[in-house]
Chain A
Amino acid sequence: DGGITQSPKYLFRKEGQNVTLSCEQNLNHDAMYWYRQDPGQGLRLIYYSQIVNDFQKGDIAEGYSVSREKKESFPLTVTSAQKNPTAFYLCASSIWLAGVTGELFFGEGSRLTVL
């Protein structure tokens, strides 16, 4: 089946540790996104990428890093510099054509808890 796969679904981390969230898509989409969702709040953009080996900071990039070495993969690292990392993280992909972002296809999300 085509889609977005995020792993792990749940993750616990001690303060001071880095953690990497995986996001893989087999939809052949050019664009990929990482959003953070806190309880009762909207989705805030962390990083996005329209092409391999290129990515842009979103609105809350501090304390996070990404890479886009392959079209189908866009892993997110939550570093120890992120002051409040406990959240629900959503990865998405879309087509991107003529300056218009297409429908976002979301993964099931990764829930990170820092102990």
Chain B
Amino acid sequence: GQQVMQIPQYQHVQEGEDFTTYCNSSTTLSNIQWYKQRPGGHPVFLIQLVKSGEVKKQKRLTFQFGEAKKNSSLHITATQTTDVGTYFCAGGTSYGKLTFGQGTILTVHP
């Protein structure tokens, strides 16, 4: 079945450093979504990418969808303490299944 792998599992950075998390699917995706979950909370939607090679930016966050629609990345420039949390990718199929990666736990040291 479809698998979505996400690396790294943990990332510790100093405030101001950059951060990147990567997502790879075993199958071609129809779309990919990214979520952020704070401790004790539920995942909150960040963005969706649909087109091959798509790049989207939200302030300090940059999201990419690979040309083959099997991989994606989230890059945060100049991290802040408010960026702490777990970042998940979720790969979607044409029949409605949405599979989450294992998540990357980001800690930011001031």
Contacts and interface: CB of A to CB of B under 8 A. Distances in A.
Interface of A: 31, 33, 35, 40-45, 48, 50, 56, 58-59, 90, 94, 96, 99-109
Contacts, number: 67
Contacts of A108: 42
Contact of B92 (A42, A44, A56, A100): A100
Interface string B12-24: 0000000000000
Given A90-B42, A102-B48, A103-B48, A58 B97 contact: yes
Interface in B55-105: 88, 90, 92, 94-103, 105
Contacts of A104: 33, 35, 43, 45, 90, 98
Of all A-B residue pairs in the complex, the 9 with the closest CB atoms, nearest first, are A99-B94, A106-B42, A42-B102, A43-B100, A103-B45, A101-B92, A42-B103, A50-B96, A42-B100
Interface of B: 1, 6, 30-31, 33, 35, 42-45, 48, 50, 88, 90, 92, 94-103, 105
Contact of A103 (B6, B33, B88, B103): B33
